[in-house]
């Protein structure tokens, strides 16, 4: 019996010693720097690397240029369509990031309401956050499920919040997380009222933004169609060798370059003028 008690005490002391001396194995937040890395995080593509997207872009561009060159036999036209194909992965990442942020903006009020209800019911902050992995909105559940697992393994609330912010990559999520961090560290008796006020503000903002986006959707789609139409015509002309070969001349190259520059400038200007204010992540 004495040997068993001694063994138990020894194992306990060993575990205490290892908790302070062994290196931490918790998942550290990713160091995301640069436009592409930030976009991948906002798109929820945390497992995709920036160099991988660049390599995919180069491969698509080369394949598209080769196909158009085989069909048309005109290098300038092939280069133009190769550049469009090379931009496709970046456009997909950007579109997915915007769609994900829009989806998060719609469900955050519900998540904040659930969090406020849990806090008002007497649950601790870690338990309230972990409960969102089950009761929260579907788009947010994976991130909070990761938080619950991290906290269960490490018990370090601050580091788990950092990881949660990195997984969400959302400005609203940053504000909620930092508010919870302050409430955890200094105490906050008004946390429930703060969360309810935040939920009301988020609902009003999402409703207003949805109305404005629906009103400008037809304008944006029309501008995209206007920009794409000339290049669709050029692609159809690629099957007519006697016509498309004219773009291999210096004058044809100038026409392609000027047309591409005007399309890019017009589309950028249209999106710049018509875009809605976007909240930036200042609480990373």
Q: What would the pLDDT profile of 50-102 be if each residue is shown by its tens digit?
A: 888 899 999 999 999 999 988 888 888 899 999 999 999 998 998 898 888 88
Give the C-alpha separation, 158 to 29, whole Å.
Answer: 11
> Would you say residue 138 lies in a domain?
yes
> Could you tell me if residue 283 is inside a domain?
no
24 found inside a domain:
no
Q: Which domain holds residue 141?
A: 35-274
The stretch 135-149 carries a mean pLDDT of 89
- Condensed to tens digits (0 to 9), the pLDDT of residues 34-61 reads 778 888 888 888 788 888 889 999 999 9
Min mean pLDDT across 5-9, 56-60, 104-108 is at 5-9
The better pLDDT of the pair 145, 188 is held by 145
Please state which of the ranges 6-20, 201-215, 235-249 shows the lowest mean pLDDT. Answer: 6-20
User: Is residue 4 in some structural domain?
Assistant: no
Among 109-113, 184-188, 190-194, which stretch is predicted with the lowest mean pLDDT? 184-188
Q: Is residue 2 part of a domain?
A: no
Confidence label for 268 from pLDDT (cuts 50, 70 and 90) = confident
Question: Which residue did the predictor score with more confidence, 24 or 121?
Answer: 121
Q: Which of 273 and 160 is assigned the larger pLDDT?
A: 160
| Long-range Cβ contact pairs of 155-159 (< 8 A, separation 24 or more) | 156/26, 157/125, 157/126, 157/181, 157/184, 159/26, 159/28
How buried is 75 (Cβ within 10 angstroms: 0-12 exposed, 13-18 middle, 19+ buried)? middle
The number of distinct structural domains making up the chain is 1
Q: Would you state the structure tokens that stand for residue 135, as one six-digit string? A: 């009761």
- Average pLDDT over the chain, rounded to whole? 80
**Least confident range of 76-85, 191-200, 240-249:** 191-200
Stronger pLDDT, 193 or 143, i.e. the higher one:
143
Q: Would you say residue 22 lies in a domain?
A: no
Residue 15 lies in a domain: no
For residue 30, is it within any domain?
Answer: no
């Amino acid at each position: 019996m004495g040997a068993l008690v001694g063994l138990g005490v020894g194992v306990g002391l060993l575990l205490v010693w290892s908790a302070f001396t062994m290196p931490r194995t918790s998942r550290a937040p990713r160091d995301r720097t640069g436009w592409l890395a930030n976009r991948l995080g906002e798109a929820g593509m945390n497992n995709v690397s920036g160099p991988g997207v660049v390599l995919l872009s180069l491969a698509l561009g080369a394949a598209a240029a080769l196909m158009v060159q085989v069909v048309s036999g005109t290098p300038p036209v092939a280069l133009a369509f190769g550049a469009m194909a090379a931009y496709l992965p970046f456009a997909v990442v950007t579109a997915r990031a915007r769609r994900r942020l829009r989806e998060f903006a719609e469900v955050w009020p519900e998540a904040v309401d659930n969090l406020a209800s849990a806090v008002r019911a007497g649950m601790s902050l870690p338990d309230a956050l972990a409960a969102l992995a089950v009761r929260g909105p579907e788009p947010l559940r994976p991130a909070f499920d990761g938080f619950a697992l991290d906290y269960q393994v490490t018990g370090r609330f601050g580091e788990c919040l950092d990881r949660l912010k990195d997984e969400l990559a959302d400005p609203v999520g940053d504000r909620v997380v930092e508010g919870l961090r302050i409430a955890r560290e200094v105490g906050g008796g008004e946390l429930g009222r703060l969360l309810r006020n935040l939920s009301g503000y988020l609902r009003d903002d999402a409703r207003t933004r949805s109305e404005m986006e629906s009103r400008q959707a037809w304008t944006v789609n029309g501008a995209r169609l206007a920009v794409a139409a000339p290049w669709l015509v050029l692609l159809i002309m690629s099957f007519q060798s006697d016509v498309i070969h004219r773009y291999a001349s210096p004058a044809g190259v100038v026409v392609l370059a000027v047309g591409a520059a005007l399309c890019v400038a017009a589309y950028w200007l249209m999106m710049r003028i018509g875009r809605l204010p976007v909240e930036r992540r200042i609480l990373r």
